[in-house]
Amino acid sequence: MVRNLEDKLFNAVVYTILAFCALIAVFPLLYVVSVSITPFGEVLRNGGFILIPREITFTAYKTLLTGSNLPQAFKVTVIITVVGTAINLVLTGLMAYPLSRKLLPGRQFFLLMIVFTLIFSGGLIPTYLTVKSVGLLDTIWAMILPNAIWSFNVLIMKSFFEGLPEELFESARMDGAKEFRILLQIVAPLSVPVILTIGLFYVVGHWNEFFQAIFYVTDRTLFPLQVIVREILMQSQQPLENADNVMPTQTMQMASVMIASLPVLIVYPFIQKHFTKGMLLGSIKG
């Protein structure tokens, strides 16, 4: 009886903490959504704080989506995200699989080199000169190829591959399968959780592409979404005389946040069930 009471108290504390954490997570999102669909005049009259709008308008979204460069920027960002993520996953898998095989000659040396890149980087100027020397400046590839492989993700995927039963590999080799076929037909289907998890990391990174575009691209037609949204936000930082008839500053900021975040928010629930599993299994052996 005492134990049941303790269990109930423990569950009550846990649920209270979880509810509090959920409120902390949901509250900012609710605030952003509410402000983005509220007329800016009403936002000003409420001191910039609104959770439940009395009137709904999509003026800020229309302004952003009909901006001169925003549709093109959206297209560029989608291309960067889709093509870049595909390249990332292919190269990461091709690098992680041989490193997961303990009989690979020089395995420890290659792993040491990967860990070295996690600690030390070439720096901004050497990286810029490298991108320039290979002719990637002012191309969409300048925002894809410099980050074609993330070392940390290689280690996660390698650890996941190492956790697969060795008997599967031995059985496949006895049936005459080569390493590339084993990777495609045995390892890849069993590694969906970690592939989706790593893919989500790459998707988020490409979708939020900003710094490489600033450094390597001067052609405005190649600017990704984040750069154009920033420009629009900077242009909206002007004094307003008639809040209902001019560009809504704070409303537009919140709408731009939603436009930049919405695709990831839509994708995440579909792979959330694999996300935790992929992260935990891939981090066991580090």
Residue 268 has pLDDT above 70, yes or no: yes
**pLDDT value at position 245?**
47
Q: Is the pLDDT of residue 275 over 70?
A: no
Question: What are the structure tokens assigned to 276, written together?
Answer: 């935790």
Answer whether residue 161 shows pLDDT above 50.
Answer: yes
> What share of the chain in percent tops pLDDT 90?
16
Flag whether pLDDT at 286 surpasses 50.
Answer: no
Q: Which of 13-27, 139-153, 259-273 has the lowest mean pLDDT?
A: 259-273
How buried is 157 (Cβ within 10 angstroms: 0-12 exposed, 13-18 middle, 19+ buried)? buried
Residue 68, judged by CB atoms within 10 A of its CB (0-12, 13-18, 19+), counts as: exposed
The encoded tokens of residue 238 equal: 């002007």
What pLDDT score does 94 carry? 92
Residue % of the chain over a pLDDT of 70:
87
Checking if the pLDDT of 243 tops 60, the result is no
Does pLDDT of 16 surpass 90? yes
pLDDT bracket for residue 191 (50, 70, 90): confident
Asked if residues 217 and 12 have their Cβ atoms less than 8 Å apart, the reply is no
Least confident of 115-119, 220-224, 263-267: 263-267
What integer pLDDT is reported at residue 239 of this predicted model?
53
Q: Residue 244 pLDDT more than 90? A: no
Write down the pLDDT at residue 237: 57
- Mean pLDDT within 196-221: 88
pLDDT > 80? residue 218? yes
Question: Mean of the pLDDT values across residues 194-207?
Answer: 88
pLDDT reported for residue 285: 46
Contacting residues for 179 by C-beta, under 8 A, at least 6 apart? 97, 98, 101
- Going from the N-terminus, what domains does the chain have, and what CATH number goes with each? 1-56 (no CATH), 69-284 (1.10.3720.10)
Output the average pLDDT for the chain: 82
What is the Cα–Cα distance from 7 to 5, expressed in whole angstroms? 5
| CB 142 within 8 Å of CB 218 | no
Quote the pLDDT of residue 67: 65
What mean pLDDT is predicted for residues 93-116?
89
Best-predicted range by mean pLDDT among 67-76, 114-123, 243-252, 273-282? 114-123
**Rounded mean pLDDT of 61-66?**
78
Arithmetic mean of pLDDT, 215-227: 88
Instruction: Specify whether the CB–CB gap between 283 and 204 falls below 8 A.
Output: no
The per-residue pLDDT for 284 is 47
Q: Is the pLDDT of residue 79 over 90?
A: yes
Q: Is 122's pLDDT higher than 80?
A: no
